[in-house]
């Protein structure tokens, strides 16, 4: 803001010190909009009713409500133990989520409008890797209440419910059909993405609260649990059923759905006497993130792998990093092919698969171009076909809850309560195939509601840092701040990816600080008190206000209740002119005036300016045009 002396007095100008914001060193933090004393700067894209949500979109985009800017800015200062405490205030599994979250916060990051969004997910993982346990001294568990809750399914949603209910003092038992906890985090995400050691470590934190785990114990009748004294039950069974290809031969031996294959692969049962065999060649049908997990896992198990998709890369839903991993690891990506039939194999192959060659037509309901058969077909030999085309929850009549046409449990969004009293549900069995963070968010909602049912207050919020542990509020200039590009995580070299070692290695300390230091600190602007803008010059149109007006010559404007100009008048006595308007019963509600000896000339200037801006006379009339020309 620059003040300049002019013939009309001091004028304030708002602008940049160089030709562009970038060249001026702008940090795009929005603080200038908040503090501007002239009112000249406004962010017209913001919804006033949701100001903070609009100004800090990364925070708003997180389903679990993690204070993203706070932990990112702590990471920028190397304060990882504090950063992870901030994350843990909203979820108990930062190490898992820091590796496998789809990072809605990054899609919303305002830095992405400048160059590239921050690597927020990886910064969470780095903080988790540097966790010293500072948060433990502020973590509280209430005394035992004597109330019992059951959780069916030890996946992300179920574990979240168990964690928070146990902290509220309730006795929680988790039942799971598998031999270990983690759900899809363990049995649906390969360990080269999320090591089982990380899952074990974070599940152990739940067990430390006294949660009882009963593995290899499937539950199909909730009535039996309630008869055993469980007053509230949470269903978190995920989407364990895989969709079929829907073509002839999709039930042959050697054709398997994605959840079944990944579960076998993560349990070490592929290519064993009791498991699935990849053979020499595997065809993975699908183009999503699950398809890439199947393809990369099969490659690690020694097979030649085709990932077959009926559209092109532009329409493929797989995330860039997952797709790039496939390419780097030698997966053959084949486009514009759709399976038509699977038959017993010939020429030494276990199966023969017939593909239809496709072309792309107009966009369909998904917004992607619809694949259309060209009439050309080809037959190829394979040993294993993996259908990665969709998943659904398994139905259990003994649950006694309403489901939709896809088998997803119907719940109330504000509590995750199902149609059966005392029975709640969340995660993939409600959402369909979704994300870890969405499942955790639903687990939080369910835990709060279940706590209320069990006699608690429903408050599961935690403060794991004492007041005052904040980051630097500095918003000053930093050389080349706005030109710093995204730092990508350290990756295991493709040649070394022969086993199940973790591929993404995170950041070293310098890389983490540098990447976190790219944060625009959008969260600080809403904390700044709004600037006191210049007072409005409009005066209420009444006898008291008019009595204070001088008797000098000048020009006045009359305005209606909406402060729209009704009239512009030049007079030799301002007070007398306004009194005459008041006595005449003018509909004006406000007025403004200025003294001007050459009042007729000033009146003409003001009316001309009004005409130029609005294309009409003040008040919409045309009877005064003769006075101008």
Give the mean pLDDT of 316-321: 93
Q: Give domain 539-627's CATH architecture.
A: 3-Layer(aba) Sandwich (3.40)
* Helix, strand, coil share of the chain (percent; to 5): 35, 20, 45
Choose among 443, 422, 409: nearest CA to 147.
Answer: 422
What are the distances in angstroms from CA 337 to CA 230, 314, 356, 358, 363? 51, 15, 6, 6, 18
With a cut of 90, say whether residue 221 has pLDDT above it: yes
496-517: pLDDT as tens digits: 998 999 999 999 999 999 999 9
Q: What is the CATH number of domain 47-136+465-527?
A: 1.10.1060
pLDDT at 27 (0 to 100): 62
Beta bridge partners of 571: 554
Domain regions of the chain by residue span: 47-136+465-527, 149-240+393-453, 251-383, 539-627
70-120: pLDDT as tens digits: 999 999 999 999 999 999 999 999 999 999 999 999 999 998 988 899 999
Angle at 531 between CA 528 and CA 532, to 5 degrees: 145
Q: 344: left (phi > 0), else alpha (psi -120 to 50), else beta?
A: beta
Q: Does domain 251-383 have CATH number 3.50.50.60?
A: yes
With bands split at pLDDT 50, 70 and 90, how would you rate the model's confidence at 525?
confident
Work out whether the CA dihedral 606, 608, 614, 616 comes out positive or negative: positive
Helix ranges, 564-629 (H): 574-583, 599-614
With bands split at pLDDT 50, 70 and 90, how would you rate the model's confidence at 307?
very high
Average pLDDT, the chain: 89
* 345, 384 Cβ separation under 8 angstroms: no
Angle at 580 between CA 579 and CA 582, to 5 degrees: 65
Choose among 97, 491, 116: nearest CA to 325.
Answer: 491
Within 10 angstroms of residue 404's Cβ, the number of other Cβ atoms is 11
Within 10 angstroms of residue 586's Cβ, the number of other Cβ atoms is 16
Percentage, residues of the chain above pLDDT 70? 88
Within 10 angstroms of residue 508's Cβ, the number of other Cβ atoms is 11
With a cut of 60, say whether residue 46 has pLDDT above it: no
498's tokens: 């022969």
Of 43-52, 368-377, 474-483, 557-566, least confident by mean pLDDT is 43-52
With a cut of 60, say whether residue 1 has pLDDT above it: no
* Fold agreement (47-136+465-527, 539-627): no
563-602: pLDDT as tens digits: 888 999 999 999 999 999 999 998 999 999 989 888 888 8
In terms of CATH, what superfamily is 149-240+393-453? FAD/NAD(P)-binding domain (3.50.50.60)
């Amino acid at each position: 803001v620059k003040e300049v002396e002019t013939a009309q007095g001091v004028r304030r100008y708002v602008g940049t010190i160089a030709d562009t914001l970038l060249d001026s060193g702008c940090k795009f933090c929005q603080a200038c909009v908040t503090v501007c004393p002239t009112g000249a700067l406004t962010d017209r894209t913001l919804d006033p009713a949701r100001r903070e949500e609009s100004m800090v979109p990364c925070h708003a985009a997180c389903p679990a409500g993690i204070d993203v800017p706070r932990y990112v800015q702590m990471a920028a200062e190397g304060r990882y133990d504090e950063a992870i405490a901030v994350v843990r205030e909203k979820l108990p599994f930062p190490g898992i989520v820091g590796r496998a979250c789809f990072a809605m916060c990054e899609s919303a990051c305002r830095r992405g409008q400048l160059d590239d969004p921050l690597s927020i997910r990886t910064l969470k993982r780095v903080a988790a890797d540097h966790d010293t346990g500072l948060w433990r001294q502020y973590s509280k568990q209430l005394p035992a209440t004597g109330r019992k809750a059951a959780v069916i399914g030890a996946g992300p949603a179920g574990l979240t419910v168990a964690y928070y209910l146990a902290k509220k003092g309730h006795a929680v038992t988790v039942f799971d059909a598998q031999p270990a906890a983690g759900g899809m985090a363990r049995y649906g995400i390969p360990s080269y993405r999320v090591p089982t050691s990380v899952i074990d470590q974070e599940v152990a934190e739940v067990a430390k609260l006294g949660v009882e785990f009963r593995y290899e114990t499937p539950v199909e009748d909730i009535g039996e649990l309630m008869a055993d004294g469980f007053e509230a039950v949470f269903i978190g069974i995920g989407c364990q059923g895989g969709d079929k290809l829907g073509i002839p031969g999709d039930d042959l031996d050697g054709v398997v759905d994605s959840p079944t294959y990944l579960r076998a692969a993560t349990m070490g049962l592929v290519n064993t006497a009791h498991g699935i065999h990849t053979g020499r060649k595997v065809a993975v049908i699908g183009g999503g993130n699950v398809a890439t997990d199947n393809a990369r896992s099969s490659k690690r198990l020694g097979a030649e792998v085709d990932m077959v998709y009926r559209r092109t890369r532009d329409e493929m839903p797989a995330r860039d990093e997952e797709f790039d991993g496939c390419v780097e690891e030698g997966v053959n990506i084949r486009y514009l092919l759709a399976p038509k039939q699977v038959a017993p194999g010939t020429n030494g192959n276990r199966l023969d698969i017939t593909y239809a060659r496709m072309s792309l037509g107009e966009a369909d309901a998904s917004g992607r171009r619809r694949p259309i058969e060209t009439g050309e077909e080809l037959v190829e030999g394979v040993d294993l076909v993996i259908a990665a085309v969709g998943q659904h929850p398994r139905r259990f009549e003994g649950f006694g809850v309403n489901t939709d046409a896809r088998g997803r449990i119907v719940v109330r969004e504000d509590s995750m309560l199902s149609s059966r009293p005392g029975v709640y549900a969340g995660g993939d069995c409600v959402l369909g195939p979704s994300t870890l963070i969405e499942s955790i968010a639903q687990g939080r909602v369910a835990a709060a509601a279940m706590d209320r049912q069990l006699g608690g207050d429903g408050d599961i919020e935690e403060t794991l840092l004492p007041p005052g542990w904040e980051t630097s509020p500095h918003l000053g200039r930093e050389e080349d701040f706005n030109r710093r590009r995204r730092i990508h995580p350290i990756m295991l070299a493709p040649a070394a990816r022969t086993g199940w070692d973790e591929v993404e290695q995170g950041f070293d300390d310098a890389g983490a600080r540098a990447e976190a230091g790219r944060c625009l600190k959008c969260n600080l602007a809403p904390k700044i008190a709004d600037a006191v803008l210049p007072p409005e010059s409009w005066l209420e149109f009444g006898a008291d206000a008019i009595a204070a007006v001088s008797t000098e010559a000048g020009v006045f404007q009359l305005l209606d209740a909406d402060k729209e100009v009704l009239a512009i008048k030049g007079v030799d006595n301002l007070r007398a002119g306004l009194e005459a308007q008041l006595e005449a019963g003018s509909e004006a509600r406000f007025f403004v005036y200025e003294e001007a000896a050459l009042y007729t000339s000033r009146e003409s200037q003001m009316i001309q300016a009004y005409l130029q801006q609005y294309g009409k006379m003040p008040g919409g009339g045309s009877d005064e045009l003769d006075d101008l020309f």
